[in-house]
Structure 1
Amino acid sequence: MTKNNVWALCGDSQSADQPCSMTSRMGYLRYLLVLPFLAVLPAVADSTKLTLQDAISKAISEDKWLDSSLHRETALRALSQGATALPDPKVNLGLLNMPTDSFDFNQEAMTQLSFSISQNFPAGDTLRLMAEKYSVQGDQLPLERDNRRAILTMEVSKLWLTAYQYEQSIKLVLRNKKLFEQLHDVVESSYSSAYGAAKQQDLVRSELELIKLDHRLAELEQGKRSALFKLSQYIQSSSSSAVASTPIGLDVNSVESLSLSAAAMQKPSSEVLMRRLSQHPMVQMVEARSSIAQVDKALAEQQYEPQWGISLGYGYRGDDLSGNSRADLASVVASVSLPIFSSRNQDAQVKAAALKVEAIVSEKQLVLNELRSKYLTLTSDIELLQGRVELFQRQLIPSYQQSAQTTLNAYTSNDGFFTEVVQARIAILNAQIELLAIRVERLKRLSELNYVLASTAEEVSK
C-alpha cells in the first residue's frame, strides 16, 4: 500500500502531509474487521455454471448402463413372443427293405419308399410358462433402471455438493484473505510510522496468517478438483479436465428439491411408511424375482405332465415281378413319455423351486427392514444437523463476532494483543466454514433420504 493510500484510510479530514492519528487508524481497522461479519454465503445461480440439475440430467442421459438395460429388455420381449411356438416338425425320407442281391425295387413286397412327418408337443403349459417367464424378466429391467436413476441422482448430488462446499469455502477464505491483506497493510504502515503503535511481532503474525490462508486455499482447491474429477465419471460427454475447471453454481430449485421427499414424509405412521417403502425399486425388483421364481416352480411342475408326439408316414411300393401293383402303406404313430425313472429328479426340481420362492419372500422383508432402518437413521441425522445449523446461526457465530469485537476494542485501547485479534477473526472464518459443511452434510443426507423414498416410474406417473 502506498503512503498516500495509507493516509487515505484515515478519511478526508487528514492530508497526505500530516499523519493520521492512531485512533483514526484503529477505527478503520475496526471497520475492516467488523464489516465482513454479516456476510453469509451468497448463493447466486448462474446459467453458465454446472448446476446440480444439469449434472444429474447429464449423468442419467449419458449412462451407458441404462442403454444396455433397454436393449436387454427388448431382447427378452422378443423371446417372450417367440416362446409359444411349437418345436419344428421332423421330416423323414427313406428307402426301406431294399434287397441286396439284386437291388430290384420290385423284387420284394416289403421294399418301399417311405416318407414321414413327426411333431412333438412339450409337456403341459411349458410353452406358455416360458413366454411368461421371459415377460416377467423383461418387467424386471425397468425397475432396475428406476433404481439406477435413483442411485445416479444420489451419487451425483453428493459429489456435486462436495465440490460446491469446497468452492464456497474458497470464496470465504478469499474474502477473509482480502481483509487480512488490508489489515497487514495497516499494521505495516503503523509499524513503519513514527506515530504507529504496531509491534514487529504484529507484522510477522499478519504475514504468517496470509501464508496460512494461501496454504488453506491450495488444500481447498485440491479437494474441489478431486470431487469434480470423480463427478466426471458420470458425465461422459465432457472431458475430466473440462469438468474439473467448471465453476459450480448453486441451483436453488435443485437444492430445494432435495427437501421435497422429506417434507412430504414428516413422521409418517409405521403403516404409511412401510407402504411407501414397498414402492421402492429395490423392493419391486425382489417382487419381480419372486414372480420369476414362481414361474420356474410352475415349469418344474410341468415335468410331471406327459410329453406327447405324433408321427404320420406314407410308404410307396412298386409292382410285383408279374407286373401287378401293390398297395401303398400309411401309418400313424402316437408317443407319450412315461415319467417313471425321472420322478426323483422332478421332485427335487420342484422342491428347489419352491424353496427359492420362500427365500425371495424372506429377502423382500430384509430389504424393507434395511430401508426402514436407513429412513429412521437419515431423518434423525437431518433433524440433528438442522439443530446444529440453528445453533451456529443463533448462538455460536454471534458469540464469535461479539468476542472478536471485544478483542478489537481491547487492542485499539492498548489493552489487548494483536494475536488475539487475529485468532478471533480466524475463529469466525472457521465457524463459517463449519456451518457450510454442516449445511452440505444435511443436503447429502436429504439426497440419501430421497433415494430411500424413491418410487418406480409407474408409481410416480400415478
Structure 2
Amino acid sequence: MAKNNLLAFCHVLQSVYSRDFFIGKTHRIASVSLLSLLPLAVNAEALSLQQAVEKAVSQDDWLVSSQQKENAMRVLSQGMTALPDPKINVGLLNMPTDSFDVNQEAMTQFNVSVSQMFPAGDTLRLAGEKYTAQGDQMPLMRDNRRAMLAMEVSNIWLTAYRYEESIKLVKQNRTLFEQLHEVVESGYSSAYGRAKQQDLVRSELELIKLDHRLTQLRQAKESALKKLSQYILPTMMNQNTADQNITLKTTREPIKLTSSNTLTSNALAARLSQHPLVRLVDVQSNTAQIDKAMAEQKYKPEWGVTLGYGYRGDDLSGKDRADLASIAVSVSVPIFSSRRQDAQVKAASLQVESFLSEKQLVLNELMAKYRVLTSDIRLLDQRIRLYQTKLIPSYRESAQAMLNAYTSNDGGFSDVVQARIATLNAHIELLDIRIERFKRLAELNYVMTQGEEVKNT
C-alpha cells in the first residue's frame, strides 16, 4: 500500500515537472516595457507599480515647495523692474544761533527736496529677467524629481515584487514536499515500505529549511515595503505589510530598444538634449549670461535728479523775501572701480563658458548610461532565453530522471530532493533576472525622460 501511495505521488510530481508553472511561452520579453507582467489574482487590495508611482508623485512635499519657490521668483521678477523709491529731505537751513529768529538773516530758509536715482543702463530690466530665469529652472527640476521618484519607487517596488513571487514559488514547492513527506512517512511506518529513516529525516529537514526560507523572504518583502512607505504615506499602506499584495499591470510600452545602427549618436544626443538635467543647464547658462550683462552695466553711470524748494520768511523790516527753487543732476563716474568691474565681467564670462562644458558633461553621462543600460538589457534577454529554452528544461529532465530512478529502486531519495531544490532555485534565479531587467528599464526610463515646456506666468 505504501509503495502504491509513493507511485501515485510520483505521478503527481511528474505532472508538475512536465509543465512550466512560472513562465509560459506567452510571457516572452520582446520589448522594454517596464510594466509588462500580467496582473496577479489577490485577495486583498493590490498595490500596482503605477499606483505606487502616482501616489509618490502626488504626495511629494518637495514638488509643492518647488512650485511655491517658482511663484515667489516670478513675483519678484515683476517687482524688480520698478525704480528705487525717491527720497524726500526736509530741513531748516542757516538758522542764526544768536537769536534763533528765522527772519533775522536773508539766508535762513525752510527747505524741501526730492531726489530720484536711476540705476545704470538696463540694470532693472536685467534684474527682472534674472529672477524669471531662476523661476524657469523650477519646472525642469520638478520634471527631474518626478522621473527620479519613478525610478526609485520602481526599484523598491520591484524588489518587493521579487520577494512576493519567490514566496509563491517556495509555497508551491513546499506543498509538494509535504505530500512527499507524508508518503515517505507512510512508507517508513509500513513493514513493506521501502522508505528509510534517513529519507524521513531528510524530508523533515527540507520542510524546515523551506519554512526558514519563507520567513526570510517575508522579512525581506516587509523591509522593502517599509522603504516604500517613505514615498507613500503609511496610511496608504496596509498595516500588515507582510500581507500587502503588489501587482504589475499591462500598459503601453513607454520605450522600445533601438539598434545602434538605427539610432545614431546625433539622434541620441538630440533625444537626450531634452532631458530635464540638460535643459536645466541651458537655463542656468541663461542666468549666467544675464549676470554677465548686469556686470557690464556697471561701466555705465548712475544718474540722479534732485528738486528742491526753499521757503524764506520776511526780513526784519517786514519786506517779503523771494522763495528759492533748485534743481541738481548727479552722475557717477566709474573711474576707480574699473578694475573691480573688469574682474566681475571676466568672472561672469568664465561662468557662462563653464555651463557649456557642464552641458556636454551631462550629455556624455546620459549617453554612456543609455549605452550601458541597453547593453545590459540585451544581455539579460539572452540570459532569460537561455533559462527558458535550455537551463530550466534541463533541470526538469534531470529531476524527472532522478524521480524515475528512485521509483525503480535505482536512485536515492536525496537525489530526488536535490533535483527538486535545484529546479526551484532555477525558477527563482530566472525571476531575479527578470526583475533585474525591469530595474534596468526603470533606469532607462529616467535617462530617456523629456521635460515639459517651461511656461512663463
When the two structures are superposed, what TM-score results if normalisation uses the length of structure 1? 0.91
Distance 1:414 1:398 in 2: 24
Select 2:40's aligned residue among 44, 52, 70. Answer: 44
Distance 1:240 1:48 in 2: 10
1:29 corresponds to which residue?
9
Evaluate the alpha carbon distance shift between residue 243 and residue 153 of structure 1 in structure 2; reply closer, same or farther with a 3 A threshold. Answer: farther
1:121 corresponds to which residue?
118
Asked whether the 8 Å contact 1:408–1:421 carries over to 2, the reply is yes
Asked whether the 8 Å contact 1:45–1:252 carries over to 2, the reply is no
| CA positional deviation for 1:40 | 1.2
Evaluate the alpha carbon distance shift between residue 245 and residue 406 of structure 1 in structure 2; reply closer, same or farther with a 3 A threshold. Answer: closer
Asked whether the 8 Å contact 1:191–1:200 carries over to 2, the reply is yes
In the alignment, does 2:255 pair up with 1:261? yes
Distance 1:35 1:217 in 2: 24
Asked whether the 8 Å contact 2:257–2:374 carries over to 1, the reply is no
Select 1:186's aligned residue among 183, 195, 204. Answer: 183
| CA positional deviation for 1:33 | 1.9
| CA positional deviation for 1:143 | 0.2
Distance 2:91 2:366 in 1: 67
Distance 1:45 1:176 in 2: 19
Q: What's the secondary structure of 1:262's corresponding residue?
A: coil
Distance 2:41 2:418 in 1: 33
Distance 2:234 2:241 in 1: 13
Q: Write the deviation string for residues 146-181 of structure 1: whole angstroms up to 9, x where unpaired.
A: 000000000000100000000100010011001000
Q: What's the secondary structure of 2:256's corresponding residue?
A: helix
Distance 2:386 2:134 in 1: 52
2:367 corresponds to which residue?
372
Structure 1: gaps of 5 or more residues:
1-18
Select 2:312's aligned residue among 306, 310, 317. Answer: 317
Aligned ranges 1:87-126 → 2 under 5 Å: 87-126=84-123
Select 2:422's aligned residue among 427, 432, 452. Answer: 427
In the alignment, does 2:160 pair up with 1:160? no
Select 1:413's aligned residue among 401, 408, 417. Answer: 408
Give the alignment's Cα RMSD to 1 decimal. 1.7
Select 1:277's aligned residue among 272, 293, 301. Answer: 272
Asked whether the 8 Å contact 1:229–1:243 carries over to 2, the reply is no
Distance 1:166 1:262 in 2: 27
| CA positional deviation for 1:264 | 6.7
| CA positional deviation for 1:377 | 0.3
1:11 corresponds to which residue?
none
| CA positional deviation for 1:293 | 0.5
Q: Quick one: higher RCO (CA 8 Å, sep 6+), 1 or 2?
A: 2
Asked whether the 8 Å contact 2:48–2:249 carries over to 1, the reply is no
One-letter amino acid of the structure 2 residue matched with residue 25 of structure 1 = N
1:141 corresponds to which residue?
138
Evaluate the alpha carbon distance shift between residue 246 and residue 278 of structure 1 in structure 2; reply closer, same or farther with a 3 A threshold. Answer: farther
In the alignment, does 2:70 pair up with 1:73? yes
Extract structure 1 runs of 4+ deviating beyond 3 A: 262-267
Q: What's the secondary structure of 2:51's corresponding residue?
A: helix
In the alignment, does 2:345 pair up with 1:350? yes
Asked whether the 8 Å contact 2:133–2:287 carries over to 1, the reply is yes
In the alignment, does 2:194 pair up with 1:214? no
In the alignment, does 2:222 pair up with 1:225? yes
One-letter amino acid of the structure 2 residue matched with residue 359 of structure 1 = S
Q: Write the deviation string for residues 373-405 of structure 1: whole angstroms up to 9, x where unpaired.
A: 000000000000011011101110011001111
One-letter amino acid of the structure 2 residue matched with residue 260 of structure 1 = P
Distance 1:228 1:282 in 2: 29
Q: What's the secondary structure of 1:204's corresponding residue?
A: helix
Asked whether the 8 Å contact 2:49–2:249 carries over to 1, the reply is no
Distance 1:194 1:245 in 2: 44
| CA positional deviation for 1:281 | 0.5
Distance 2:321 2:378 in 1: 98
Distance 2:448 2:259 in 1: 9
Asked whether the 8 Å contact 1:45–1:251 carries over to 2, the reply is no
Q: What's the secondary structure of 1:334's corresponding residue?
A: strand
Distance 2:240 2:271 in 1: 37
Structure 2: gaps of 5 or more residues:
24-37
Q: Write the deviation string for residues 104-123 of structure 1: whole angstroms up to 9, x where unpaired.
A: 11111100010100000010
1:300 corresponds to which residue?
295
Distance 1:86 1:309 in 2: 12
| CA positional deviation for 1:352 | 0.5
One-letter amino acid of the structure 2 residue matched with residue 294 of structure 1 = Q
1:363 corresponds to which residue?
358
Select 1:385's aligned residue among 349, 371, 380. Answer: 380
Asked whether the 8 Å contact 1:163–1:248 carries over to 2, the reply is no
One-letter amino acid of the structure 1 residue matched with residue 179 of structure 2 = Q
Evaluate the alpha carbon distance shift between residue 458 and residue 265 of structure 1 in structure 2; reply closer, same or farther with a 3 A threshold. Answer: farther
Distance 2:145 2:243 in 1: 26
One-letter amino acid of the structure 1 residue matched with residue 22 of structure 2 = V
Evaluate the alpha carbon distance shift between residue 45 and residue 201 of structure 1 in structure 2; reply closer, same or farther with a 3 A threshold. Answer: closer
Evaluate the alpha carbon distance shift between residue 237 and residue 406 of structure 1 in structure 2; reply closer, same or farther with a 3 A threshold. Answer: closer
One-letter amino acid of the structure 2 residue matched with residue 211 of structure 1 = I
Distance 2:174 2:374 in 1: 37
2:27 corresponds to which residue?
none
Asked whether the 8 Å contact 2:56–2:232 carries over to 1, the reply is yes
Distance 2:249 2:11 in 1: 32
Asked whether the 8 Å contact 2:157–2:225 carries over to 1, the reply is yes
